[in-house]
Structure 1
């Protein structure tokens, strides 16, 4: 490989830091949003885990549903740079709005974040792909997306530490406001790099067989809104578990039909690549349904079932930077009738983690409780969400090196095969959590934090095999005029998976033995991997035909 071909476009580095700060804001908010909703002791909303999981899943679902509209408008009308700027500003205002009290402020702020992400997320990824359209950069596209993905995770790694410091020392509102500041920094950096991606910001007019914007809004988006409202208001009972889930699924159906129509009306040249992308979109829903449980099910495991006591000697420095939560007996539960303090249970034998009490003490032996007047120092729960981005930063260079090593020997897996292996590795990560359940006697005792660290390490490898490769595949196979729209399709699959993650997490308390919860996730991931295995030859042929390499 010549040195000329080994270089990356300069715009990559501006997009890297723009995305880093955007993801800092987003993941700061996500790190504490679930905890904020279930907190009943320190100014949170004090709602149940089931309802909080449903709200969390619905929010992150809509966050990744709006890229369908944002990608469409960027392709046809606004262009990528303007769309990214609009999205970033709206998201910043949304984060700052979460610092304001009241239900209206929260709903309006979540709406701003959802709309803003729709303009920002698909278009910065598409703009990056456009930078690699020149022949001297094309061979480096996968690596470029890996580097870009590392920028995402630098922001995600820093975010929980800032969130922990601000919410422990000043309150929830200050932490949410910091997310807005980070987003504004991302927009500023994006503007500074404007000249480096100006040439890649090209409108893509509709082809002869493409729907007009007016037609798309009238027969896709408007029906989606109407279907969502009907699913929320008029459908008797909860078909899919909750009103919000019904609304989301019914609302997503017209959009899924639209993507099917893209394939049906495509030219003979475009049919196969669109079919390949739609097949990948359908399968990776399972990955996101598992991966996004880091904000719900895995946060629940960290909050209630993981040993979070500070190691002696670290309590002081950690407390100084806001990593420590304090728990004392004044908020603790009372012993069961038989004096068993290891787990407080209800009449059906389920572990109780009621709001208004200290959940950490529910399954902690009484002899380990703090003495009267001396709080127990715990690592803040949200810090566990920094583990995944930490491993992304650590492992991305190794994964890039590994694929480069295989490429030089002609043994690099195809992009679809990388996605398949990502799903297999994801299944293995759920088995680590099965081990955590047995080590903690199904929640009766605290389990070591290393189980969560191990699970995050494994799923991060799966993520690096799958997520950046999916973005790269969309950029490779999409018809040029539909690139941002198909990127919106990738995020639609993410959206559906995110909603399913909330649905799955809301069932947490319905599993008497938590191992079954994680085994269901394992089976789903293996089935998804098998589906790609069955399509692998067909997918390789399509990628080879359109890129010259598999």
Structure 2
């Protein structure tokens, strides 16, 4: 997994880790921020959330076109700067429940989306270009899995950072987070006659409102919104770190950089950037295959990115804020990191041939076991006050922990000539996503409206199944685009991947529109049906997709060659 990888992979992956940490810190609380600061309901906030996600993933289409004409590296650096300005605007507290504040927010979101468009897809094209050399070509899929794992290391810590900033702001004013309070406060300020409910909730959670509920409601929303702004400031810092990593590590990927205004010179530059010449028929076949995959990708991201939408709503209003037993350590990100380290140490123990390496693995496993027991012992039972965004750390944790399992499994299949093709993996991913929402459907059968309190384990288990789906679809899909895209259309085709993702992200708003208007289990049922229809579609066109894959160059034909030997 880590062997036979160019040094540039680690530089680009770490640069992306910092950027993704900031982005997911913001995204973890974005829906809650909209609902708290502006008093928006689930429908309107869901529309804004989905619209922003759509714009974030649509802009790489334009960014890819710009890079094809200009420079991938210059687009990456420019994107970091533009995103920084956007996050900086969001980090400055503004008036609550204000139209002018909402306009300022929209301007910041537009900057973040434009910056992401210049940065995200083009950085991934650069990663793919590292593997155009014959000595690295067999590690392309493994590389994108590593790259994807690095993204999730950043996003795993994001909810913790956002939660810490919220708690910091609230505690400074003697307040505590209660998921129902922002809605109650905004409703009271809107003139609802819910003073008794608001007062009762305040008292039940150890706070004092005094005689002026209006003042308390304003103070609570202002303080919570300020905490969210602190979290956005963290995103600014993460972009500075990303830029430093990218700039200081330039020599590791300098050989793939080509100024689009100048012809590439030298055999090495030509090999790294030009790729094989294709006939018009081959180009058409590849583009059609990619467009068909993009059609399925739309619906995967529609169901997957419910993590910040309906799944967050479910965590806020339908899930108990308490966790007991072993479940409670899942809300400690350091415990999760320890478990992930243990997974890698376990793989290294069985795959290492040297005695010293095995001894080190045993020592690490012993330390991990101690750490997990320590976190279990010191965490209160039950753990209370769980905030909705904290559930979003489970998906990146699962990605980090399961990536070596995934690579080793598919490497084992590849050695036996039984590994599924990338399109087939995408189809299996849609089936797995359907299973995930079947679990949510079962867990929601006893819920009337959105008033209930089910175990956190329903969401935790659903995120596990969605992660299996993600590992089957997302890194393999990106690798498929990088491998199959015609050389002269790499930036545009990678942008097409993100454009399909953008459409899927906008469709995230549909379940949010239905939230609270139909029984909760029916929302999940709709997502199950969408996943199954998408899976049936991709299996129906499998021959066309696999034909495009087999048309790849000989150096790209076996992307997971030697993965089993190099899995860790």
**What range is the shorter-chain TM-score in?**
0.7 to 0.9
CA distance in 2, matches of 1:524, 1:396: 26
Which residue in 2 is equivalent to 1:530? 536
SS of 1:139's equivalent? helix
CA distance in 1, matches of 2:123, 2:50: 24
Which residue in 1 is equivalent to 2:463? 456
Residue 308 of structure 2 is aligned to residue 295 of structure 1: yes
Unaligned ranges ≥5, structure 1: 208-265, 322-375
Partner residue of 2:42 out of 49, 62, 73: 49
Alignment of 1:74-89 (within 5 A): 74-77=67-70, 79-89=71-81
Residue 232 of structure 2 is aligned to residue 183 of structure 1: no
Residue 90 of structure 2 is aligned to residue 98 of structure 1: yes
Deviation at 1:440, TM superposition (A): 4.4
Residues 166, 444 of structure 1: CA spacing in aligned structure 2 closer, same or farther, 3 A cutoff?
A: closer
Which residue in 2 is equivalent to 1:229? none
Residue 137 of structure 2 is aligned to residue 138 of structure 1: yes
SS of 1:398's equivalent? helix
Partner residue of 1:195 out of 251, 261, 272: 251
Which residue in 2 is equivalent to 1:11? 8
Deviation at 1:312, TM superposition (A): 9.5
- Report the number of matched residues: 429
8 A Cα contact 1:61 1:495, kept in partner: yes
CA distance in 2, matches of 1:505, 1:200: 43
Deviation at 1:292, TM superposition (A): 0.8
Residues 428, 173 of structure 1: CA spacing in aligned structure 2 closer, same or farther, 3 A cutoff?
A: same
CA distance in 2, matches of 1:496, 1:107: 19
CA distance in 1, matches of 2:447, 2:44: 26
Partner residue of 1:479 out of 460, 466, 486: 486
SS of 2:385's equivalent? strand
Deviation at 1:82, TM superposition (A): 0.9
Unaligned ranges ≥5, structure 2: 95-100, 170-226, 264-278, 335-382, 559-568
Which residue in 2 is equivalent to 1:274? 287
Residues 475, 312 of structure 1: CA spacing in aligned structure 2 closer, same or farther, 3 A cutoff?
A: closer
SS of 2:508's equivalent? helix
Runs of 4+ residues over 3 Å off in structure 1: 203-207, 310-316, 439-444, 547-550
| TM-score (ref. length: structure 1) | 0.74
* Superposed CA RMSD: 2.6
| TM-score (ref. length: structure 2) | 0.72
Residues 451, 536 of structure 1: CA spacing in aligned structure 2 closer, same or farther, 3 A cutoff?
A: same
8 A Cα contact 1:315 1:377, kept in partner: no
Deviation at 1:125, TM superposition (A): 0.5
Structure with bigger RCO (C-alpha 8 Å, 6+ apart):
2
Deviation at 1:313, TM superposition (A): 12
Deviations 1:51-86 (A, max 9, x none): 000000000100111111111111111x11111111
Which residue in 2 is equivalent to 1:38? 35
Which residue in 2 is equivalent to 1:126? 125
Which residue in 2 is equivalent to 1:417? 424
8 A Cα contact 2:54 2:505, kept in partner: yes
CA distance in 2, matches of 1:120, 1:460: 24
8 A Cα contact 1:205 1:481, kept in partner: no
Which residue in 2 is equivalent to 1:426? 433
Which residue in 2 is equivalent to 1:222? none
Deviation at 1:503, TM superposition (A): 2.5
Deviation at 1:494, TM superposition (A): 0.3
Deviation at 1:142, TM superposition (A): 0.4
8 A Cα contact 2:432 2:466, kept in partner: yes
CA distance in 1, matches of 2:86, 2:513: 26
CA distance in 2, matches of 1:155, 1:470: 21
Deviations 1:221-274 (A, max 9, x none): xxxxxxxxxxxxxxxxxxxxxxxxxxxxxxxxxxxxxxxxxxxxx922311000
Residues 426, 314 of structure 1: CA spacing in aligned structure 2 closer, same or farther, 3 A cutoff?
A: closer
CA distance in 2, matches of 1:128, 1:151: 13
Which residue in 2 is equivalent to 1:541? 547
SS of 2:149's equivalent? helix
Alignment of 1:245-256 (within 5 A): none
8 A Cα contact 2:327 2:457, kept in partner: no
Deviations 1:125-149 (A, max 9, x none): 1000000110011111000000000
CA distance in 2, matches of 1:378, 1:84: 39
Which residue in 2 is equivalent to 1:372? none
CA distance in 1, matches of 2:296, 2:470: 14
SS of 1:66's equivalent? helix
Alignment of 1:141-152 (within 5 A): 141-152=140-151
Deviation at 1:108, TM superposition (A): 1.7
Residues 206, 295 of structure 1: CA spacing in aligned structure 2 closer, same or farther, 3 A cutoff?
A: farther
8 A Cα contact 2:450 2:516, kept in partner: no
Alignment of 1:32-431 (within 5 A): 32-39=29-36, 44-77=37-70, 79-100=71-92, 101=94, 102-170=101-169, 171-203=227-259, 267-309=280-322, 311=324, 377-431=384-438
Deviation at 1:381, TM superposition (A): 1.2
Deviation at 1:310, TM superposition (A): 5.4
Residues 447, 290 of structure 1: CA spacing in aligned structure 2 closer, same or farther, 3 A cutoff?
A: same
Which residue in 1 is equivalent to 2:365? none
SS of 2:444's equivalent? helix
8 A Cα contact 1:70 1:118, kept in partner: yes
Deviation at 1:436, TM superposition (A): 1.5
Deviation at 1:539, TM superposition (A): 1.2
Deviation at 1:538, TM superposition (A): 1.8
CA distance in 1, matches of 2:451, 2:327: 27
CA distance in 2, matches of 1:205, 1:277: 28
